[in-house]
Amino acid sequence: MKKTFYVTTAIDYVNAEPHIGHAYQKIVADALSRWHKLIGEDVFFVTGTDEHGKKVADSAEKIGKKPKEFVDNVSKKFKEAWKSLNIDYDRFIRTTDEDHKKTVIEFIKKCEKSGDIYKGTYEGYYCVGCEAYYTEKDAPNLQCQIHNKPLEKLKEESYFFKLSKYQKFLLDLYKKHPEFILPKEIRNEVINRVKKELKDLSITRTSFDWGIPFPLEKNHIVYVWFDALINYYTATRQKGKEKYWPANIHLLGKDNTWFHAVYWPAMLKSAGLELPITTFNHGFLTFNGKKISKSLGNAISIQTLVNKYGADTVRYFSLRQFPFANGDDGDFSESALINRNNSELADKLGNLVSRVSALAERYGLEKTKTNNLEINSTYKEVSNHLKNYELDKALNEIFAFIDKCNEYIQNKKPWETKDKTVLYELSNAIKDISILLFPFIPETSEKISKVFNFKISLYELEKPLKIIKIKKSPILFQKIK
């Protein structure tokens, strides 16, 4: 049996349309998914939309629509956005899906059986934008630090999950399995906070009705975060998908850390289920130093960017510009995107493919026993970087090899020597480059594979390129002024 790899993204809240801030995480997940498929693993990649909660109900009411009609429309726009970016997921899950509702109800009953659910009264502060509860310690000015809006004070009857019971379990988990929370800086923050205090979690609401009915009492609905986290498990409940649980990695923004690193493992333990291996908490894309967000008025449309620059340029920039592995924020800059498109994609990769294919069309190819452009060490470095989620460094290695190829063609001058063996070495190297680039810029890799007649497969790295009649490649990346 193949080794399985299950990768998930956070499911996006549908109170507003998708923007480039949402896309960053999906592009990373897609690159990881494609890489693990490339190396022969059995991959399951899940993304989707989070469709319950007060924020969604309020957003629907503002434009005079019923919540279900509203979420159907916005969820469709997320699917369209991911299609435009060539995001090749295996399941797009919606928390309004019937199988998810059923799984949530079963999950709650398992937690109740463990003695972890009780009835009480919730009184405290709440941010509708985050759909999250805050203490006065978390928000000293009683204002949400993300949305810059005052918190609402709530008091209502609620069912609670005994989160406090799992304090020792969680601290032991973080100690024995440090890979459960990455990067380590985020892990240390979580450990310090869990050590101080862990309050029980309010898991139902009664002030509105847009949510999954709580199975233990009719007039309660399930708190949106308790519902949403379970989506990762729901996706593996379908026939034939059970083998993928537990997840290898949950990708999430650092504003979702507490829910995934504290609530989620405690919930799974209560329900008697295995825990995911890693929750990776990445930084935000920012614009002028602020998190990109519809509510902050600085959202950048995905469709606009793709129409203007192309999917692969947007993908490449997002993966190359921002060091994902360290969890830092990255400031989005159109001028930086244009610079990378022109200097790296067009001048380095595009120019190499154009020159070699044009010369190969003119003079032909001839196999050689020597290989001055060996890809093996580059492949090993790329593989190691991707194990550590260092996607920017992986791309840096590939482009260092592209630089080597460009230097080689300049030194050998096949346009003067008409040396068919040099052109063969370069063509073979382009094959290898394209295979390694496939997880990052799949559309471009597929275009190159058609010019040089090879399949996108790791096995092709070990095979010499077949000699065929080459025709000059169309321009891969236009220079942007």
* Active-site residue set: 19, 22, 127, 130, 144, 147, 291, 294
Burial of 35 (0-12, 13-18, 19+ CB in 10 A): buried
**16: which DSSP letter?**
S
Cβ–Cβ < 8 Å for 89, 47: yes
Rounded Cα gap, residues 249 and 45, in angstroms: 10
Element holding 252 (H helix, E strand): strand 249-253
Rounded Cα gap, residues 263 and 280, in angstroms: 15
Element holding 13 (H helix, E strand): strand 12-13
Rounded Cα gap, residues 100 and 213, in angstroms: 12
Rounded to 5°, the CA angle 376-377-383 comes to: 90
**467: which DSSP letter?**
P
Cβ–Cβ < 8 Å for 107, 271: yes
**345: which DSSP letter?**
I
Phi, psi of 214 (to 5 degrees): -75, 125
* DSSP-derived secondary structure for 147-216: T--BPEEEEEEEEEE-GGGGHHHHHHHHHH-GGGEESHHHHHHHHHHHHH----EE-EE-S---SPBPTT
Which residue in this structure is represented by tokens 């990768």?
Answer: 7
Please name which of 12, 14, 229 lies closest in space to residue 108, comparing C-alpha atoms. Answer: 229
Rounded Cα gap, residues 347 and 340, in angstroms: 10
Cβ–Cβ < 8 Å for 251, 223: no
Q: What is the dihedral of CA 10, 16, 19, 24, to 10 degrees?
A: -10
Cα–Cα distances in angstroms (integers) from residue 307 to residues 24, 320, 400, 446, 475, in the given order: 17, 20, 29, 20, 17
